[in-house]
Amino acid sequence: MKRILIQSHILAAFLQLAPLVRVAQTAPGVVATPTLFILRWVFGAAAVAGSFHGLSGATGVVPTAVRATNGVRTSVTFSITSSSHGTARSYSATSGLPPGTTLSTRGTLSGIPAASGVYSLRVRGWETANLGGNWSELTVPVTVIGANPPVVTTQPTSLTASLIAAYTGDQPLTLRWFKEDLEVKNGTNATLTLPNAQPADSGRYRLRLVNSLATVFSDWATLTVQAAVAKPVITGQPLGRTVHSGEDLSLAVSVTGTNLTYAWTRDGVAVGSAGPLGPTLVLTNVTAAAAGVYRVRITNPGGSVDSDAASVLVVGPVRWDTPTQVAGSVQLPFNAIVGRRYAVESAAVVQGPYALQTEVVGQAGGTFVADPIGGEGRFYRVRPMP
């Protein structure tokens, strides 16, 4: 008999996979993190502990809700599980697909959403791998948000400095502005205007008034013109990604400029620690609530600049899928993220030590790890790599 031990909140059911396979629940506390799961194969002659009779008693779907961004490619895989019969082996959508998306028979919703809104996606899980047998439907809300809030691309700037004095006196009366003890060119009016003022224009200014009776000077007025500061320039945009729940999430932006401050947002709402934020946003042990569109606004005295949108999707924890026997080997599929690297490790006992067996890259349609049948059996675990 082959026995699979797998974390209780992932799967706690009996499935007939082949005449020699059954699924059983492991003891609590074996696995330390939600992205680490244990699988053990015990070989021997066999009997079937139960069978997959259908999904009429389906009790849940993972994930329970999905967030995506209009115009940004998305990919998330569903899993419908029955407390008494196990996990569906194929999937279809009966209604509520957002425009621009499709649902594969493996339960993967993918595509580029073409319209914002909230969609009630009706997912049907089937007993067999070819959309056959018993089935059950569950509704998953899919929220497609917009990706382009208002952005100020050019900030207003002050280009002119003016000094103004008021006076009385008999005419004829002449006026002359001085910077320190030097006459200011064209400074012969009560208002002194300095177009495109520069730091060199900083200093003390006063107005001299002269008529036939007296010469009078105003008080000194100090003008300070600060050097123009270039607004920040983004040299590397934050990149969207898909992560498993329970992982840490890191988003980073590269910027040139001085005196920079950072304001990170998710779907337009401030996110991050209470203290000053930097060019890297780190969120630990993420849940489905961390999904959304992230941006960062970088500001200095020269102005502000907003990053591109980075769409983050959070899918369910890493889990083993239904094993299959092929010739003298067993294929161990799991719900990998396409393009993500995973380490598959094994040990003779559940406590370890675990050694790297192979590294695999997530592929569309699922990821498989082949293992030959024989020996005393081993424990296997899979974890995402950074």
Q: Where are the alpha helices (DSSP H) in 32-169?
A: none
- In degrees, rounded to 5, the angle at the alpha carbon of residue 62 between the alpha carbons of residues 61 and 64 is 80
Does pLDDT of 14 surpass 60? no
Which residues, including other chains, have CB under 8 Å from residue 269's CB and lie 6 or more apart? none
Rounded average pLDDT over 12-24: 27
Q: Could you tell me where the beta strands, DSSP code E, fall in 231-309?
A: 233-236, 241-244, 249-252, 254-256, 261-266, 269-270, 280-283, 292-300, 303-306
Query: In this predicted model, what pLDDT tens digit does every residue of 146-184 receive, in sequence order?
Result: 765 554 444 444 456 777 888 888 888 888 999 988 999
Rounded percentage of the chain residues whose pLDDT exceeds 70: 77
Whether pTM > 0.75 for this model: the answer is no
Question: What per-residue confidence (pLDDT) applies to 155?
Answer: 47
DSSP for residue 327: T
For residues 80 and 154, the answer to whether their CB atoms sit within 8 Å is no
Q: Please tell me what DSSP assigns to residue 199.
A: G
- Measure the CA–CA gap between 228 and 335, rounded to whole angstroms: 53
Query: If you ran DSSP here, which 8-state letter would residue 63 be given?
Result: S
Domains within the chain, CATH numbers bracketed: 160-223 (2.60.40.10), 233-314 (2.60.40.10)
| pLDDT of 234 | 93
Task: Return the closest-CA partner of residue 339 out of 318, 360, 310, 319.
Answer: 360
**248 and 285 in contact (C-beta within 8 Å)?**
yes
Residue-wise pLDDT tens digits, 82-126? 655 568 888 999 888 999 999 999 888 999 888 888 888 988 888
3-state DSSP call for residue 205?
Answer: strand
Which residue pairs, CB below 8 angstroms and at least 24 apart, start in 60-65?
60/138, 61/123, 61/125, 61/138, 61/140, 62/316, 63/140, 63/288, 63/314, 63/315, 63/316, 64/140, 64/288, 65/140, 65/141, 65/142, 65/143, 65/288
Q: Write the secondary structure of 156-195 as one string of H (helix), E (strand) and C (coil).
A: CCCCEEEEECCCCCCCCCEEEEEECCEECCCCCCCEEEEE
The half-sphere exposure of 289 on its side-chain side, counting CA atoms within 13 A, is 5
Give the mean pLDDT of the chain.
76
Q: Is the pLDDT of residue 295 over 90?
A: yes
